[in-house]
Structure formats: structure tokens, C-alpha cells
């Protein structure tokens, strides 16, 4: 594994503009709490509840400031990271090599004393394909969200860490996603991330995520023109984007909304996005 900061990038594609205008999908404020079933809902229950609306926003090319982005300030960071995994579609390699190297990467960037990788998801965009089809890769997330909430962050630590959880939660803990492209740069449907400092508490809308055997909670995002949106065009296979999904420390960035988006400046013929995200828990002394 090779780690260096700050980030430098190289790609042969046309340079991305300093700003793009694109549509992002936001959650509408409502008196009814949104929900989504992952799997078949009970008979008579709709699969989802919630109203969603696209808004056109300006998204800043953060390449020029990538080396200055910080997880505890904006809620995101970029790191050069050459993976030992030869093929992220190989589950054995991803588990044996990808999980431990990702834990070391998060420790390196955050200074955490312990990092646990508890999950990963591969995505491969296919025009017209549905998400969450058994046996097929996930599609890019089309709606702005945060993976955890004030309530579900500690709950997820308890679910994963069991009897160790209370001692770990007595100190600082955070949930951090590590997102990276597979095989080639992610010019198609890149990831947009919101600057955590620009979101008011009521911009984040708690949404139930109901699995067959457990219930989680994520945040949807309500639109406000004061929000700042960033992306790293052409994120390369030897780079990783780190995203803050929850932090127990209220003095730092705690929640960074994010989503895939259709970049209207993507050149015709660009390979469709392939990516993997690792979900990690970072614990601090």
C-alpha cells in the first residue's frame, strides 16, 4: 500500500470545468416521516413514502482545493492510495486485502486509534437498470442522503461492535465511507458531496430504512440555496474519497450529504461508472 498526501491527479480526458450546473434530487419537507423498505414490504404497505424533487445547483470542481479538504471541516477528504487489490469484483481479494488496507488508510487520514471496516458495496452503472436487483451490482445512488443520523450512528456501532460498543462510545467515534472507482476514472456519474458547514439541522430529514431483520435511519436532504456542493472530477483508481457519515463529536463536521449525479459535461463515450465504497467505524482515544 502506498499513501501520500496531498493529491495530484493525471488523466487523459478533457479537463473538467471549474463549475458545473446539474440537477440533484432533494427530499421535500413533510409532516410524515419518509421511509423505504429494503426488500418486500408487508402486505398493503407501499414500498416507500416521501416526496422528492430535483433542483438545479452549481457544483464546484474541488480539484484545485483537494489537498486542503478535511473530514473534520468540510466532511470530506481525498487521499492518494494505491490499492493492493487487483480486482475489486473479486470478493476474496476485497475482503482479504481491501478491508485491512482501507482501515489503515482511515487511520492514516484521521489519526484514529482503531478502525473497523464493516461493509462494502460495489456499483456498476447500467442505463435503465433498477437498483437492488438480486445478483447484480448496485446502481449509483440517485438521491442526496447521509448514511447515518444522530440516532442510527450509535445504534450501528452497537450492532457491529456488540459488547465492546459502550466503552467505545464513551469516547469519540465516527462512521466514515471510503469511495473509490474501479478500473478507470469516475467521469461518468461522479459523486457530489455537500460541504458539511453549509447545512442547517433542519436541512437533514430523518428517513427510516427498513430491512427484513433490522431498522436503520438515514438522512434525506432538503434544498437550500446556501448549501455548497463539491465534486472531484475524474477520481482515479489510485485515489480515494473519504466522506463523514456520522461523528459523535459535535465540535467537528458530523454529516456530509452525498449522491451520484449526471454530469452534463461528461464526454460522449465515457465508460459507465464502476465504484466501490467501504463503510468504516473509526474510534479515538
HSE at residue 51, side-chain half, CA atoms within 13 A, is 6
Cell of 12: 487523459
Given this model, what pLDDT does residue 12 score? 54
- Least Cα distance to 232 among 182, 185, 276, 184 occurs for 185
Please, which residues bridge with residue 82 across strands? 2
Q: What's the pLDDT tens digit per position in 209-249?
A: 999 989 999 999 999 999 999 999 999 999 999 999 999 99
Q: What's the pLDDT tens digit per position in 207-217?
A: 999 999 899 99
Pairwise CA distance, residues 38 & 216, whole Å: 10
pLDDT band of 7, cuts 50, 70, 90: very low
Given this model, what pLDDT does residue 135 score? 75
Mean pLDDT, rounded, for 162-169: 98
Pairwise CA distance, residues 277 & 233, whole Å: 17
Give every strand in the sheet of 204-210, ordered side by side.
19-27, 52-61, 229-231, 191-194, 258-260, 145-146, 215-221, 204-210, 35-37, 48-49
Mean pLDDT, rounded, for 180-188: 97
Instruction: Report the SS3 class of residue 184.
Output: coil
Residue 268's CB: how many other CB atoms inside 10 A? 4
**Which residue has 449526471 as its cell numbers?**
262
Torsion sign, CA atoms 256, 257, 263, 264: negative
Mean pLDDT, rounded, for 177-182: 98
Mean pLDDT, rounded, for 129-151: 89
Mean pLDDT, rounded, for 125-144: 86
pLDDT band of 8, cuts 50, 70, 90: very low
What is the biggest distance separating any 2 CA atoms in the chain, rounded to whole angstroms? Answer: 53
> C-alpha angle 59/62/68, rounded to 5°?
140
State which residues form the domain around 120: 2-283
Res. 131: pLDDT tops 50: yes
How many domains does the chain divide into? Answer: 1
Which letter does DSSP use for residue 264 in this model? Answer: T
Amino acid at each position: 500500500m502506498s499513501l501520500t498526501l496531498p493529491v495530484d491527479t493525471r488523466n487523459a480526458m478533457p479537463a473538467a470545468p471549474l463549475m458545473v450546473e446539474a440537477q440533484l434530487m432533494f427530499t421535500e419537507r413533510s409532516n410524515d416521516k419518509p421511509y423505504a423498505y429494503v426488500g418486500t414490504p408487508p402486505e398493503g404497505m407501499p414500498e416507500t413514502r416521501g416526496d422528492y424533487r430535483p433542483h438545479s445547483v452549481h457544483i464546484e470542481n474541488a480539484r484545485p482545493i483537494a489537498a486542503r479538504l478535511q473530514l473534520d471541516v468540510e466532511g470530506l477528504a481525498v487521499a492518494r492510495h494505491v490499492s493492493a487489490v487487483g480486482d475489486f469484483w473479486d470478493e476474496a481479494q476485497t475482503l482479504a486485502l481491501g478491508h485491512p488496507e482501507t482501515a489503515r488508510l482511515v487511520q492514516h487520514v484521521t489519526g484514529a486509534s482503531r478502525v473497523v471496516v464493516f461493509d462494502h458495496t460495489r456499483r456498476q452503472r447500467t442505463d435503465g437498470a433498477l437498483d437492488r436487483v438480486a445478483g447484480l451490482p448496485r446502481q449509483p445512488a440517485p438521491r442526496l442522503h447521509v448514511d447515518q443520523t444522530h440516532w442510527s450512528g450509535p445504534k450501528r456501532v452497537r450492532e457491529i461492535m456488540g459488547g465492546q460498543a459502550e466503552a467505545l462510545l464513551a469516547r469519540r467515534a465516527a462512521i466514515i465511507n471510503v469511495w473509490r472507482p474501479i478500473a478507470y476514472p469516475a467521469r461518468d456519474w461522479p459523486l457530489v458531496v455537500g460541504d458539511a458547514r453549509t447545512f442547517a439541522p433542519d436541512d437533514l430529514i430523518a428517513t427510516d430504512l427498513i430491512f427484513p431483520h433490522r431498522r436503520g435511519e438515514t438522512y434525506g436532504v432538503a434544498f437550500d440555496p446556501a448549501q455548497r456542493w463539491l465534486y472531484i472530477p475524474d477520481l482515479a483508481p489510485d485515489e480515494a474519497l473519504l466522506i463523514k457519515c456520522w461523528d459523535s463529536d459535535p465540535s467537528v463536521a458530523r454529516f456530509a450529504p452525498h449522491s451520484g449525479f449526471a454530469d452534463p459535461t461528461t464526454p460522449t463515450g465515457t465508460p459507465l461508472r464502476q465504484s466501490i465504497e467501504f463503510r468504516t467505524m473509526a474510534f479515538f482515544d
